[in-house]
Chains A and B, each alone.
Chain A
């Protein structure tokens, strides 16, 4: 059974008024338990709307979201539980920090879930560990942390809810390369350890190529592609048409092929490209 299933998802803002705007139309897909899904699309393609529908922050005008096989809006009063199960990290999540200490801030979600002190404490500590926040930082004010630490503290606040599905909306935006690399590997590590499902929204094709199993491509509120990372990036022309790129390294291999060098173009990382070229030279 798929962990998330979207069926005919449609969202229309201001229906029936002169401001009517279709943000999402008839989107269908299924995500399997344990998958790492990259979500791409240019600004305004419906990515943000889609992820907010998946955890019940928005209600679809038509269609259904199934989480673990259950319609999330079946009991509207229990929508909060859906949000705990499908944890959402927004863009620039550090702007949501508010507590006196980092510890309390991370504990906000677990407390809202009604967990016991002990369980909350366990969750806070393990979440902080996943994002690499040192223990002494837990008792500092979140406003005294550095930019990168704030970001990680905010992400820990969602991880602490131990969601089955973790949705990250451009978690690396605005970070420097160091902060970005550290955060990406922490997310990968978390995914490996917890074996849960991750939906990762990003504008960086290089990052998406590095970590996703499958990629969902959105365009003008519709699903354009949903396929394995290799298959998606094999469709360079299609992606370019909707204002997206392929990773530079993939592009280089494709350009080589065009110039008559018979290399494999299903290349997503520098390492793969390096091996492919060494192989080619060897034969």
Chain B
């Protein structure tokens, strides 16, 4: 499979002045490849470097040393900055602070307007993007009247309208209630499955991470675990050591396995858990 994003031996620290030389690296030697159409979740606690990494995918931050390539373009290449940002869109955590205009459709159009696209096409793209996130009927509303989940979907639509190949979401659900989280995650899943958009989801909710094709776990600026959700969540011990959440279903099976019961190594949701338990309880 073709690598869409390549992170090669990236180190990053804030500031380049002399005095900050002893400050520690926020990213400490990251190597990561992301394929086209993949859905990757990056997890880790606050300060693990996951948000800093997210901002490397579209040249908001540049590596202190090392390189990031997006579709073969080095993110340090100034000339092609807009090409990179057209390919990789970024959605931030706070739903209020990333909406620019006072009307939903105007905001979604903002990116396309910056790209100098013809008005007719902008309208088409804006409507398609709003349809894709299920916010079409709200196109004339003002953002402050929307719920958190709706605002976040508008922000996603603003990126989708630019027709990116990849969308990076930096803890998009951290400030939302369960319903808003559900709305955002199912929207993201839909974009990935139906439109084939590559998704990089930064989150600390494990129930979101289990939906991904691949989970990358960061700690102190390093990738410490990488694999399918099944592989990653089988490492309950390691997850707990790094104080990450383990779904209750996973943890229960893990504990029972510890007592010698014959159970599968990983279950990710309640259905799998009940199925597994039935095997031993029926006897």
**Direct A–B touching in the complex (beta carbon < 8 Å)?**
yes
User: A interface vs B, CB < 8 Å?
Assistant: 42-43, 146-148, 173-179, 181, 203, 206, 243, 245, 247-249, 251-252, 255-256, 259, 261, 270, 273-274, 277-278, 280-281
Instruction: Give CA–CA (A249, B281) in the complex, Å.
Output: 16
Instruction: Give CA–CA (A176, B50) in the complex, Å.
Output: 12
Instruction: Give CA–CA (A148, B243) in the complex, Å.
Output: 14
Tell whether, in the assembled complex, residue B259 and residue A177 are in contact, meaning their CB atoms are under 8 Å apart. Answer: no
Known A147-B46, A248-B248, A252-B249: A178·B273 in contact at CB below 8 Å: no
Minimum CB–CB distance for B153 against chain A, Å: 15
Tell whether, in the assembled complex, residue B175 and residue A177 are in contact, meaning their CB atoms are under 8 Å apart. Answer: no
Which residues of the partner chain B approach A270 to less than 8 Å between Cβ atoms? 248, 251-252, 255
Tell whether, in the assembled complex, residue B248 and residue A148 are in contact, meaning their CB atoms are under 8 Å apart. Answer: no
Which residues of the partner chain A approach B255 to less than 8 Å between Cβ atoms? 270, 274
Per-residue A-contact encoding for B170-193, CB less than 8 Å = 1, 0 else: 000011011110000000000000
Instruction: Give CA–CA (A85, B176) in the complex, Å.
Output: 30
Which residues of the partner chain A approach B180 to less than 8 Å between Cβ atoms? 43
Tell whether, in the assembled complex, residue B174 and residue A248 are in contact, meaning their CB atoms are under 8 Å apart. Answer: no
Minimum CB–CB distance for B113 against chain A, Å: 32
Instruction: Give CA–CA (A135, B8) in the complex, Å.
Output: 41
Tell whether, in the assembled complex, residue A203 and residue B47 are in contact, meaning their CB atoms are under 8 Å apart. Answer: no
Tell whether, in the assembled complex, residue A248 and residue B281 are in contact, meaning their CB atoms are under 8 Å apart. Answer: no
User: Would you list 12 pairs from A and B whose C-beta atoms are within 8 A, ordered by A residue?
Assistant: A175-B46, A176-B46, A177-B244, A178-B243, A206-B248, A252-B274, A255-B270, A259-B274, A261-B277, A270-B255, A277-B252, A278-B256
Which residues of the partner chain B approach A148 to less than 8 Å between Cβ atoms? 46
Which residues of the partner chain B approach A176 to less than 8 Å between Cβ atoms? 45-46, 204, 243
Any A CB within 8 A of the CB of B208: no
Any A CB within 8 A of the CB of B164: no
Which residues of the partner chain A approach B47 to less than 8 Å between Cβ atoms? 146
Give how many A-B residue pairs fall within 8 Å (CB-CB). Answer: 84
Tell whether, in the assembled complex, residue B178 and residue A245 are in contact, meaning their CB atoms are under 8 Å apart. Answer: yes
Instruction: Give CA–CA (A178, B256) in the complex, Å.
Output: 24
Tell whether, in the assembled complex, residue B243 and residue A247 are in contact, meaning their CB atoms are under 8 Å apart. Answer: no
Known A248-B248, A252-B273: A280·B178 in contact at CB below 8 Å: no
Which residues of the partner chain A approach B271 to less than 8 Å between Cβ atoms? 255
Tell whether, in the assembled complex, residue A249 and residue B277 are in contact, meaning their CB atoms are under 8 Å apart. Answer: no
Tell whether, in the assembled complex, residue A203 and residue B256 are in contact, meaning their CB atoms are under 8 Å apart. Answer: no
Tell whether, in the assembled complex, residue B175 and residue A174 are in contact, meaning their CB atoms are under 8 Å apart. Answer: yes
Tell whether, in the assembled complex, residue B281 and residue A256 are in contact, meaning their CB atoms are under 8 Å apart. Answer: yes
Q: Chain B: which residue is nearest A43 at the CB level?
A: B177
Which residues of the partner chain A approach B270 to less than 8 Å between Cβ atoms? 248, 251-252, 255
Minimum CB–CB distance for B206 against chain A, Å: 8
Tell whether, in the assembled complex, residue A274 and residue B281 are in contact, meaning their CB atoms are under 8 Å apart. Answer: no
Per-residue A-contact encoding for B229-255, CB less than 8 Å = 1, 0 else: 000000000000001110111011001
Known A252-B252, A261-B281, A278-B259: A203·B178 in contact at CB below 8 Å: yes
Minimum CB–CB distance for A66 against chain B, Å: 30
Tell whether, in the assembled complex, residue B248 and residue A178 are in contact, meaning their CB atoms are under 8 Å apart. Answer: no
Which residues of the partner chain A approach B244 to less than 8 Å between Cβ atoms? 177-178
Instruction: Give CA–CA (A261, B277) in the complex, Å.
Output: 10
Which residues of the partner chain A approach B281 to less than 8 Å between Cβ atoms? 256, 261, 277, 280-281
Which residues of the partner chain B approach A243 to less than 8 Å between Cβ atoms? 179
Q: Chain B: which residue is nearest A147 at the CB level?
A: B46
Minimum CB–CB distance for A147 against chain B, Å: 6
Q: Chain A: which residue is nearest B243 at the CB level?
A: A178
Counting chain A CB atoms within 10 Å of each CB, the highest count among B175, B252, B271 belongs to: B252
Minimum CB–CB distance for A183 against chain B, Å: 12
Known A177-B244, A261-B281: A255·B252 in contact at CB below 8 Å: no
Known A42-B179, A148-B46, A178-B45: A256·B252 in contact at CB below 8 Å: no
Which residues of the partner chain A approach B282 to less than 8 Å between Cβ atoms? 261
Known A148-B46, A281-B281: A249·B274 in contact at CB below 8 Å: no
Instruction: Give CA–CA (A148, B46) in the complex, Å.
Output: 9
Known A42-B179, A248-B248, A270-B251: A277·B147 in contact at CB below 8 Å: no
Instruction: Give CA–CA (A44, B271) in the complex, Å.
Output: 31
Minimum CB–CB distance for B20 against chain A, Å: 15
Known A43-B147, A177-B204: A252·B248 in contact at CB below 8 Å: yes
Q: Chain B: which residue is nearest A247 at the CB level?
A: B248
Which residues of the partner chain B approach A178 to less than 8 Å between Cβ atoms? 45-46, 243-244
Minimum CB–CB distance for A91 against chain B, Å: 9
Instruction: Give CA–CA (A177, B177) in the complex, Å.
Output: 16
Known A176-B45, A270-B255: A42·B243 in contact at CB below 8 Å: no
Minimum CB–CB distance for A283 against chain B, Å: 12
Tell whether, in the assembled complex, residue B45 and residue A277 are in contact, meaning their CB atoms are under 8 Å apart. Answer: no
Apart from A176-B45, A177-B204, list 8 A-B contacts with CB within 8 A: A43-B148, A249-B248, A252-B249, A252-B274, A255-B270, A256-B277, A256-B278, A270-B252
Instruction: Give CA–CA (A112, B179) in the complex, Å.
Output: 39
Q: Chain A: which residue is nearest B246 at the CB level?
A: A177
Which residues of the partner chain B approach A252 to less than 8 Å between Cβ atoms? 248-249, 252, 270, 273-274, 277
Instruction: Give CA–CA (A178, B239) in the complex, Å.
Output: 11
Enumerate the 10 nearest inter-chain pairs by beta-carbon distance, A residue then B residue, closest first: A178-B243, A176-B45, A177-B245, A248-B248, A249-B248, A255-B274, A176-B46, A176-B204, A43-B177, A178-B45
